[in-house]
Every structure is written in C-alpha cells, then in structure tokens.
Amino acid sequence: MNRNRVWEEIGRTEAITNTLNPDWATKICMYYNFEDQQRLQFEIFFKGPYKQRAGVASMLLHEIVGAKYNRLTKDLVEEGKHQGTITVTAEEMGDGRQESVYFVASATNLDKKDFLGKCDPFLKVLRINEDGTTQLAYRTRYHEQNLNPKWAPFEILLDQLCYGDKDREFIVECYDWDQDGGHDFIGDCRTTVNRLINKQDVDLPLVSEKKAKKNKKYTDSGTLHFHKVYCWHDFTFLDFISGGTELDFTVAIDFTKSNLPMEDQSSLHHIDGENINQYEIAIMAVAEICQHYNRSKIFRAYGFGAKIPPDTKTHYNFPLNVVTNDPHCYGITGLLEAYLIAQSRVELSGPTDYSHTIRLAAKRAASFPEDGSKYSVLLILTDGVIGDMEETKMEIIKASTLPLSIIIVGVGYDSFKEMKILDSDNQMLNHNGKYAKRDIVQVFKS
C-alpha cells in the first residue's frame, strides 16, 4: 500500500441536514482514462464548525464503470469501524453539445403537514433506471410555510432525467421539509418530457398511494403545475463560430500597485525603450489568437485600478487611450498603441477589484440580441492579486446566464492558485447558496 499517496479534491456535494441516509444531487465530473488505475476516495463529513469525518470509502473508477448498471456499493469505514455504505454511479457525459430541459413549476392546495397547519414543500425529480430503481436527478429548495409554492426555474440534463429519451417516464415527488430530516411525503406524479412540451401534462395531481389505500374518498394531496417546459442545447464554442456568430472582444489590463512601479526594472509594466514588458508580451500573444475569430479586428480596450492625473481618484474601466477616451482599437497594433498611451499617462493605484470590469462586460453582453448572432469575450490581463473575491464571484454567477466568456490571463510570476477558484472545471462556482448556470471563466498563465 502506498502510504505516501496524495489526494486531490475534484469535487464536493451539497450538504444535506439531519439525515443518516443522504441522497446527493450534485454531480462530480472527471475524465476517464481506460489505461490508468484511477483510485477515488469518497469522504463523508458531518456538517458543523469542526467538519468531523463520518466515514471514508476507496474504489477504482474502472470498478464503478465495470459494475452492473455502472453502480457500486462500498463500506464506509472510520478508525476501523463500519459506518454504513456509499453507492456511487458512473455515467458517461456526451462530448460537445448537451441537451437540457428547463422547468418552471408551482403547486397549489398541498396537504397541511405541520402541527400549525403549514407546509415547507420541495420537489425531488427522479430518473427511473434501467433496473427499475430510481436516481435523484434534481432537488429544489424548499418554500417556507406555503401551501401554494412557486419554485425558482431549474434545468436538468436530458441524459440525467430520462437517458435522453423524451418519451421515457420520470417521477416528481413533493415533500414537506422538516428540520429533523424526516421529510414528510406529500405525493408524486409521473410524466415525460414530450408530454410536458406538448402540453398534454400541465396540471398533475400529487398522489400518495398510502393515503389512497387508507381512505377511499381520497383524491390527491395537491396539484403540480408546469407553466413552462422546453429543451435547449448547450452549444459548444465551435457550434457558435460555424453558425456565423460574431465574437465581441473586450480587453481589460491591470494597472494596480501590485505590479510594482513602472520605473522599477522588476515591474510588469516596466518602461524600457529597448525591451518589451510582460504585459506587452501577453497582449501580443492573446490578441494574435483572438484576431482570427474577430472579423472586424476591433478590440474594446480598458484599464483598471489606476489614477489618471491630475485626478486622484482610482479609476476602473477607463479606455486605454486616455487621450481620445475611446475604447476601440484596431488590431494588435492599435491595442499596443493604446496600452503605451495608458502606460505613459496613468499612475498605478488599487485595489485590484475585478467586479467592476465583469459588470461592464455583462452589461454589454446583456444588450446582445437573443438569436445568438453575437457573443462577448472578456480578456483580463492581470498579475493575479484580487481584492474583491466575494463581489467578483457574485458578478460571475449573475453573468453566467449571458452570452459571455471570461478569460483571465496571469502575467508575471504568481502561481495564481487563488484565481483558479473562479474556474469551475471541478465544481460549479457558488457563493451564498447561489450557483453559476455554467462555467464561463478560464484561467491561464501567460
């Protein structure tokens, strides 16, 4: 046994309160390499300030893939004691575009479950597996004390919902949330994607078979309403390009003090008549690639985190060409010229806040037509120090519904570990219980 093995976290689920039989909805994605032994370790923790581990199970990815129905159950052990079992299911994700189903749902006249005649309802959407078992595809948040709840819109990948078969039934269960984890079952219904899209199923009764057996006069425990259901494809970058989408590029350059004074030879903005600096190298490398996807060759170029004398205020989103106050630059040459103008006229300041720049790019992306004819790309060139991480996360999450991608290019010698938190390769970016709709950030080292 290799006692020197170093584990790397690739994902974590949501926390489920007060239950010894949790069913997690969060999916963890990873690459499957047929030729490698990819050992996985699943660690279960109790929620709380001390994050006490409840049990651990180790298995190989190819064990899960090779098991019947790609589903494997293993013992959870902690300090040599058996602590229950964990069941893991592996599913292949298709390459390229993914089809999702978008739902807007509500309910009326739900059964009163609580002592005071209230109900805290939530929904569980379950896929019916090939062997007749069910698997959680999605769980909504609960509505506090409401017998007529309206849930926030949600979406589920078609493969996770019904194996991609729009005529395959899935189950929707409604529960009354209880703090002790013993959620009370209200009722369920079955439907298909096609029946919902074709408006055959709009208002479905939520039925409890247990109550129906006890009471012959029982009809239902409320009604589930589907106000809007439609399918959509998560198109790839190449899908947009081949379809004629026009890419709109915005470049934002970091002029904060963490880059060191321009006169200092160690500065990333160092002024030298003979050699180009780190930012000039990054600008040329990035613009060289982007210009091939930019038919107009126009870049919108801004700086952030600097003072523009004689003004002593720190400016964000100022045009690099501070003389004309025009952000538009033509090609790599125009971009470099505008950068040199800013370099010669601004004073490095701070703090290094990104939220202003992301908000500017999101506002522009929100103005684009909904037909997919335009897509915005924000390129942030920075030394990697960030001063408003929480605000930046929220702006990225809000922008994740827009036709916008953010590419952060690290300039200099920092490891950029903090910046990689914004990249959702292993886990979708979240903050204060809100999750990004999709991964719109990529971080690169120049």
* Domain residue spans of the chain: 1-92, 98-234, 238-445
∠ Cα 53 65 46 (to 5°): 15
Closest CA to 377 of 285, 299, 264: 299
In the CATH scheme, what is the homologous superfamily, with its name and number, of domain 98-234?
Answer: C2 domain (2.60.40.150)
Give one DSSP letter per residue of 394-436, joined into a string. Answer: HHHHHHTTSSEEEEEEE-SS---TTGGGG--SSS--EETTEE-
Q: Which token pair is 262? A: 């321009």
238-445 shares the fold of 98-234: no
H/E run at residue 85: strand 81-89
What is the model's pLDDT at position 244? Answer: 75
Q: Is the pTM of this model over 0.75?
A: no
* Alpha-carbon Rg for the chain in angstroms: 26
pLDDT at 1: 46
**Cβ atoms within 10 Å of 370's Cβ, excluding its own:** 6
Name the amino acid, one letter, at 131: D
**Which pLDDT belongs to residue 203?**
96
CATH code for residues 238-445: 3.40.50.410
* pLDDT on residue 139: 92
Size of the chain in residues: 446
In terms of C-beta distances under 8 Å and separation of at least 24 residues, what long-range contacts does 416-421 make, across chains too? 416/384, 416/443, 416/445, 418/384, 418/386, 418/389, 419/382, 419/384, 419/386, 419/443, 421/389
Residue 256 per-residue DSSP state: B
pLDDT in tens, 98-124: 788 999 999 999 988 765 667 889 999
Q: String of b and e for 381-412 (b: at least 16 CB within 10 Å)?
A: bbbbbbeebebbbbbbbbbbebbbbbbbbbbb
DSSP state of 40: E
Q: Tell me how far apart the alpha carbons of residues 100 and 250 are, in angstroms, rounded to a whole number.
A: 30
Q: Name the average pLDDT for the chain.
A: 87
Walk along the chain (446 residues) in steps of 10 and give the mean pLDDT of each run.
71 84 85 82 86 90 88 92 92 71 93 73 94 92 87 89 94 90 91 96 94 89 94 68 81 92 88 83 86 84 94 93 93 92 92 93 90 88 87 91 89 72 75 81 79
Burial of 165 (0-12, 13-18, 19+ CB in 10 A): middle
**Per-residue model confidence as pLDDT tens digits over 333-391:** 999 999 999 998 999 998 989 999 999 999 999 998 877 788 999 999 998 778 888 99
383, two tokens: 């030394």
Please give the biggest Cα pair distance in the chain: 91
Q: Hey, which residues does 445 pair with through a beta bridge?
A: 410
Under a CB-based contact definition with an 8 Å cutoff, are residues 317 and 354 in contact? Answer: no
